[in-house]
Structure formats: C-alpha cells, structure tokens
C-alpha cells in the first residue's frame, strides 16, 4: 500500500522513468541522447535557480505590495500590460526561471493577465532572442514575427484571465488557523525542513508541518521560515 501511495505522490516522475525505460528498449541510442540532454538541463537548472531564488527573495523584501498592485494589478490596465511586456522582454535566462518570480508577483497583487504576459514575453520575445533572430533570419522577419506574437500574447492573456481566476492559483487558498504548507506550490527544496526541523519535515519530496504545540518555542522562528521560502508556500494564521 505504501508503494502505491509513493507512486501516486510522484506520478510524473514515475511516468518519466517509464518513458526512459521504454525508449532505451526501443531505441538505445536515442535513450542515451535523451539522458545526456536531461543531464544538461538539470545542470543548467542547478546553476541558475539558486540565483533566481535569491533575486526573488530580494524583490519580495524590497518591493512593497502596493507598488506591485499599482503597476501590475488588475487596475493597472494598459500600463500594467506595457510594464509586463518590458519585464519579460528584458529578462535573462530560461523561462522556467520566471516561475518563482511570477509566484511572488501574483502573491503581491499582480493580475493573472499580466503574469501570462510576463511568462509569454520571457519565452518568445526577449531582447537577446530578437537580436539573434534578426541576425540569422533578417530584420523584416523578426519585426513581423514580433508584432504578430505581441498581438497573440495580448489575446491569449485576456482569454486566460477570463478562465483562470486568482482563487485558482495555489497561493490564493483560503488561510486556515495554524501553520500551513501549500503542497501545490512547494517545490521540494527542503530549505524549511533543514533550517526549522522542529516545525517542518519532508514527505513525498514535499514539505509538511510537523505536529507541534500551539505555544511551542519553535514558533518564534516562524517568520524567518516564511520569509525564506522561495515560492512562498508557508503561511500562518492565528484565526
């Protein structure tokens, strides 16, 4: 029963392992190439993501929520759309580096539409990408593709904002009394479990709250645990 529970908790990882096994059996050479490519991207992530987490934490501390709501919130309208395109376009690094930052921005009041624009522009219209595109495919091709892509991003962001609401995102779950870990948002970095072992533990590669008394001295360190979580998956409510 425990094995099936573990498989259910790590269904995606199990599916990937099975896919690799099938690939190795059917086409060994392709399987070897796939493992090499996966190793390259894992190495890249290990090099990039710690820097992204640090930058995200610094932005979270330095940029007040009121500023995010004013410039990237629902009421920002065209100003927010423009700024979202700028943020995504001048970014550096692969698109997966944008996810922790977007979680932080949304938690501080950025709208779903502007999050979609940031992610989309980060992926397909970054300035370094456009420069290389113009170099190899020509300025005309780059300009037309950029205009059509911007129009598509605006359209898709509007549609997404109509379908996906703020309450659908993991970090917007209604708070419950006591200490909580949003396991949907948790990325399994184990930082909280390592620095605050009296409060947190890892279960199925996700952080969970340990049983503790309501007046436990360990709760005195809770603010630092909440602030240190790179994806803001930890919450505490007294009511």
CATH number at residue 204: 3.30.70.20
Q: How many domains does the chain have?
A: 3
pLDDT, position 177:
56
Tell me which of 137, 169, 201 is where a domain ends: 169
Measured distance CA(134)–CA(99) in Å, rounded: 27
137 and 178 housed in the same domain:
no
pLDDT, position 78:
93
Q: Flag whether 7 is in a domain.
A: no
> Is the pLDDT reported for residue 66 higher than 70?
yes
* Bridge partners, 201 (sequence order): 208
Measured distance CA(105)–CA(108) in Å, rounded: 5
Q: Flag whether 4 is in a domain.
A: no
- Structural domain for 35, as ranges: 13-59
111 and 163 housed in the same domain:
yes
Q: Flag whether 1 is in a domain.
A: no
Measured distance CA(137)–CA(134) in Å, rounded: 5
Q: Across residues 174-191, what is the average pLDDT?
A: 74
79 and 163 housed in the same domain:
yes
pTM, entire model:
0.62
Please tell me whether residue 181 adopts helix, strand or coil conformation.
strand
40 and 104 housed in the same domain:
no
70 and 159 housed in the same domain:
yes
142 and 186 housed in the same domain:
no
The 10s digit of each residue's pLDDT in 29-49 is 888 888 888 888 778 777 776
The 10s digit of each residue's pLDDT in 124-180 is 999 988 999 999 999 999 999 999 999 999 999 999 999 998 877 765 444 455 788
69 and 141 housed in the same domain:
yes
Q: Flag whether 5 is in a domain.
A: no
88 and 146 housed in the same domain:
yes
């Amino acid at each position: 029963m425990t094995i099936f529970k573990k498989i259910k908790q790590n269904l995606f990882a199990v599916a990937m392992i099975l896919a690799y096994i099938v690939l190795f059996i059917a086409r060994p050479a392709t399987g070897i190439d796939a493992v090499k490519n996966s190793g390259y991207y894992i190495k890249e992530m290990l090099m990039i993501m710690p820097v992204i987490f640090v930058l995200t934490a610094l932005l979270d501390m330095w940029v007040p929520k009121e500023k995010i709501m004013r410039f990237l919130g629902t009421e920002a309208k065209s100003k927010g759309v423009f700024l979202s395109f700028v943020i995504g376009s001048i970014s550096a690094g692969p698109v997966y580096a944008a996810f922790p930052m977007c979680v932080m921005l949304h938690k501080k009041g950025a709208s779903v539409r502007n999050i979609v624009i940031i992610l989309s522009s980060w992926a397909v219209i970054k300035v370094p990408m456009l420069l290389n595109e113009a170099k190899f495919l020509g300025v005309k091709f780059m300009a037309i593709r950029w205009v059509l892509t911007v129009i598509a991003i605006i359209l898709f962001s509007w549609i997404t904002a109509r379908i996906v609401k703020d309450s659908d995102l993991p970090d917007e779950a209604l708070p419950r009394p006591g200490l909580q870990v949003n396991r949907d948002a948790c990325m399994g970095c184990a930082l909280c479990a390592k620095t605050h072992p009296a409060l947190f533990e890892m279960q199925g590669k996700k952080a969970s709250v340990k049983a503790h008394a309501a007046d436990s001295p360990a709760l005195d360190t809770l603010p630092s645990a909440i602030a240190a979580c790179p994806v803001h998956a930890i919450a505490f409510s007294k009511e």
